[in-house]
Amino acid sequence: MPSPTRVIHKRIYEVVPRDLERAGTVSTEVRRELLALGMSPDIVRRASIICFEGEMNMVLYSAGGRIILLVRDDRVELLFSDRGPGIADIDLASQPGYSTAPDWARELGFGAGLGISNMEQNSDLFKIRSRVGEGTVVRATVLLGIPFF
């Protein structure tokens, strides 16, 4: 395993379930943090989209949880962890178009079933683990430049 790179910046955000007034505010905050750190527009954009999709999933479906922003020398990491209910079949839930969204979420323009795949497509490294009855953890990484040289 490569040695972990230095953490430059760390923020922890609480996500309140079903709080539609505030849904999306963690992501706009993360975006502002990354811009203030002088990250490139492409990195900011991808990380913001990942964060927004993850945050909306937590607001819409989870019992709440938190998002951790970790900026390292060579990467931006977003860690999502919630307190349940967990995802029984992650492969199915990641399929574009698969959704268990209630009508009220669809009426807001969300819940089209594109969230997890969109998070994955904007990440360089993406890991999701879940246990039904316990919760879901996601680690999404955006690499800054090419790390292999």
Binding residues for other proteins, rule: CB under 8 A, are 20-21, 23-25, 27-28, 31, 41, 44-45, 48-49, 51-53, 92, 95-100, 108-115, 117-118, 121
In the complex with other proteins, which residue's Cβ is closer, 84 or 113? 113
β-sheet bridge partners, residue 79: 68, 139
Phi, psi (rounded to 5 degrees) for 128: -130, 135
β-sheet bridge partners, residue 12: 68
Task: Give the count of beta carbons closer than 10 Å to the beta carbon of residue 15.
Answer: 23
Q: How many residues does the chain have?
A: 149
52 burial level (CB within 10 Å; 0-12, 13-18, 19+): buried
**What's the closest the beta carbon of residue 94 comes to other proteins, in angstroms?**
11
**What's the closest the beta carbon of residue 117 comes to other proteins, in angstroms?**
8
In the complex with other proteins, which residue's Cβ is closer, 7 or 37? 37
Report d(CA 77, CA 7) in Å as an integer. 10
**What's the closest the beta carbon of residue 5 comes to other proteins, in angstroms?**
26
Residue with tokens 């953890």: 137
**What's the closest the beta carbon of residue 140 comes to other proteins, in angstroms?**
14
In the complex with other proteins, which residue's Cβ is closer, 81 or 117? 117
In the complex with other proteins, which residue's Cβ is closer, 31 or 140? 31
